[in-house]
Structure 1
Amino acid sequence: MSTIDWSELPLDVLGYLTSFLPLPDYHRFGAVCKNWSIVVRERHHRPAQQLPWYILGEESSTGKRVFLNLAENKHYYMDIPELHEHFVCGSSFGWLFGVDIHMNIRMVEPFSRKSYNLPPLDFSPAILNDPDHNWEVLKAISDHDPSERSDFTVMVVGYNYRVAFWRHGDPTWTIPYKSYGAINDVIFFKGKFYAIGYVCSDQIFVVDVGLGPDAELISLEHQVPMLPNTYKYLAEFKGELLVLQIQKARGIASGTRNEAWPCPHKGTTNIVVHKLDLDLEGKSCFECEHLDNHALFVGNNSL
């Protein structure tokens, strides 16, 4: 019986096999031989769905970025020089977004080391001279994978809970017209960017980035019952748009003396989730009592 040379399998077959591998095994696969490495670099198939990885910051002695793989309960240490002294403010399609003290934003694919340097983000000139402005980018996402298409757009939530976007090739960021309160979260869903208001807001917005400098946040009519004083997030789940409202214990939050304000550092007292149907008139919704044993990770990130 002849021996099978696995390194000579057709590239399309090898690529298909990689779609069943979790991320660590996906990259171990690429270290086997030249042909297998080509398949991983070309990324015709994504790794299998898995739990997200936590980014824990840099190791002080080496500067390596520390990741926690929840599925394995294991730490990985990666040297990503492009993100040294950067605060990681988001991720999309496996790309990481980092912002430095001067509000320069960089997006990096940590395995291929491809990167884009985005223009400095200037929400307010005053914060650039303030050493305590604390990396004023709260979240960054992209609408497409830059590895697959060049016409991608990046959107961020930043200083004073405002949003801005940058389209590949633009010389500067665009800050959409602001006739609204603060924004807490953004998402790219079925070809459009959506945003949701901060604690006291009951608004959901859609952003038409195709308008470029004339873009504005347009309030979306919806029937989601908004609870007072909750932290609000948007998430995609099985092809549907979810609106999550998280109630926190009351307390004096940073920057306010209002003891009735929900404090982000205190425990969660209640979570209410609604599915929002954007296809129907009136933007109908209904409350979700369970997620079929699935878990959602919300915050300053994007899966």
Structure 2
Amino acid sequence: MENWSGLLHDLLVEIAKKITCIEDFVSFGAVCRSWYAAATRENFTRSTQIPWLMLADVEQQNESERWRQFFSLSSGRIFKVILPEASRIRSLSSLGWLLTLGELKANLLHPLSRLQIQLPDLNTFQDYEEQENFVLDYVHKMVLSASPAATRDYLVMVTHGFATSLGFWRPGDASWTAVDPWESYIHDITYYEDKLYAVDVHGSVIVCDVNGPNPTQIWHNDVDDTKLRGETKSVA
């Protein structure tokens, strides 16, 4: 094609939505004005992106321009991003968003746009007072059901307390919603087809419906951990 700048805007938008690497997205927008017009933040955040790894925090002097380093899996390069909101603070991640955790405060943070979404204070969990001596490690795991950049219909799900409790928040809620606590340490959680899945250290799986006002446990599979370890028998 002789004139790439003459491509239809709608076609350029569809191409932009397919780009998964931010470096390629920046190059795409630098071609010409019409391509730049299609390279909006909204079109990039709608696509499934190759993740960056956020590296460990380093000591810095300038408080107002504190940055974090990110490693690009696609290019093998390290990028510095001014991000004081995630400096010297504990954070978890899901779908390209960070959950930043202070003594009481919790926020969702997009590290590239620096968009923040304020979440309810951690003390809205019913068991928070019992765990206040462990405030810095109160939340252990976090998973998003969908990217807040793509929809307002999403959930933030966490394990908290002594990692035997599940909780979630949806936009518009004034507090965190608790799911019935488990009896053992929850190793990991994920979200799939409108359900929250959790697995404990023994390999047991619990499935919860968290879409209604009252979360319900709909399936629980206990695993015989002796089979995981392997049984030993004495031979006479």
TM-score class, shorter-chain normalisation, is 0.7 to 0.9
* 1:25-54 Cα deviation digits (max 9, x unpaired): 22343455554254332217755654x322
Aligned to 1:125: 129
In the alignment, structure 1 segments of 5+ residues that lack a partner are 230-303
Any residues of structure 2 matched to 1:1-303 within 5 Å, and which? 4=3, 6=5, 8-18=6-16, 19-30=18-29, 35=34, 36-43=36-43, 46-47=46-47, 50=50, 52-61=51-60, 63-92=66-95, 94-100=96-102, 102-122=103-123, 123-128=127-132, 130=133, 133-161=135-163, 162-197=165-200, 199=201, 201-212=202-213, 214-221=214-221, 227-228=228-229
Which has the larger share of helix? 2
RMSD: 3.0
Deviations 1:83-125 (A, max 9, x none): 3343221222x2222112x142111222333221001123422
Q: Which runs of 5+ in 2 are unaligned?
A: 231-236
Shift of the 78–156 alpha-carbon distance from structure 1 to 2, 3 Å rule, reads same
3-state secondary structure, aligned to 1:113: coil
TM-score using structure 2 length? 0.77
**Separation in structure 2 between the aligned mates of residue 139 and residue 218 of structure 1, nearest angstrom:** 21
**In the alignment, what sits opposite 2:234?**
none
Percent sequence identity over matched residues?
26
Contact 2:166 2:178 in 1 (8 A): yes
What is the CA distance between 1:223 and its match in structure 2? 8.1
**Structure-2 separation of matches of 1:48 and 1:147:** 12
Taking a change above 3 Å as real, the CA distance of residues 78 and 31 of structure 1, as seen in their structure-2 partners, is: farther
Measured in 1, the distance between the counterparts of 2:203 and 2:31 equals 53
* Structure 2 contact 92–142 (Cα < 8 Å) conserved: yes
C-alpha spacing 1:60/1:16, structure 2 compared with 1 (3 Å): same
1: distance between equivalents of 2:23 and 2:224? 40
CA gap of 1:44–1:70, structure 2 versus 1, over 3 A, is closer
